[in-house]
Amino acid sequence: MRPALVVLSAAFLAADSGVAAPETISDAFEIAAAPVPVGRLDKLVFAELARLKVHPVLCSDAVFFRRAYLDVTGTLPTAKEARDFIQDPDTKNKRRLLIDRLLDHPGFADYWAMRWGDILRIKAEFPVNLWPNAAQAYHRWVRASIAENKPYDRFARELLTSSGSNFRVGPVNFFRAVQNRTPEGICTAVALVFMGTRVGSWPADKLAGMAAFY
């Protein structure tokens, strides 16, 4: 369960970025090497970019390093860390290895647990009806799920099917945080959290069909 991997496409890891100090402002942000798709995700992205007539470019090591830290951990690197990365001669692997290190960093689970906390409305305040110890159990479960790289399908299944005390079983709080607990209300929350869509534009039969699950 590593959402940052979507942002850091493999195509942007394969470029040879061993360039000298930038001679122009453009060189400080981009490098001349052409991006090459590596995996299936890259091929799908590049095909869509081609359809839109968008020509991708590769960012410089300095830009990549800063973006990687912000996207994966929500923090900025130190000056020494940035200098060591930029001066690293292993131009073929250093971007990939950087992402592996950041995904194993405690800051990754902390940052993305916070992001998921916003999506799942993990808070003990109006209008969400969660006691503080329930919100704590919920947050701990989300953070542990991210830290262990739990697959998304398992993450979603546990949120939607768990039972027990919401003080001890964190994912049970998914339903406790939903204000409108009618089948349609739960359907609305599930569609927004897991599908990124609002049901207001859905045909009535589609909403009724999904609401039937709840």
90-108, pLDDT tens digit by residue? 988 999 999 999 999 999 9
**Residue 58 carries which DSSP code?**
E
Could you report the per-residue pLDDT of 59-80, keeping only the tens digit for each? 999 999 999 999 999 999 999 9
Output the six-digit token pair for 1: 């369960």
The residue type found at 3 is P
Look at residue 3 in the predicted model and tell me its pLDDT.
54
Model confidence, pTM: 0.78
The percent helix, strand, coil of the chain (3-state, each to 5) is: 60, 0, 40
Beta bridge partners of 30: 59
**Residue 161 carries which DSSP code?**
H
Residues of the chain with pLDDT under 50: 4-23, 25
Look at residue 22 in the predicted model and tell me its pLDDT.
46
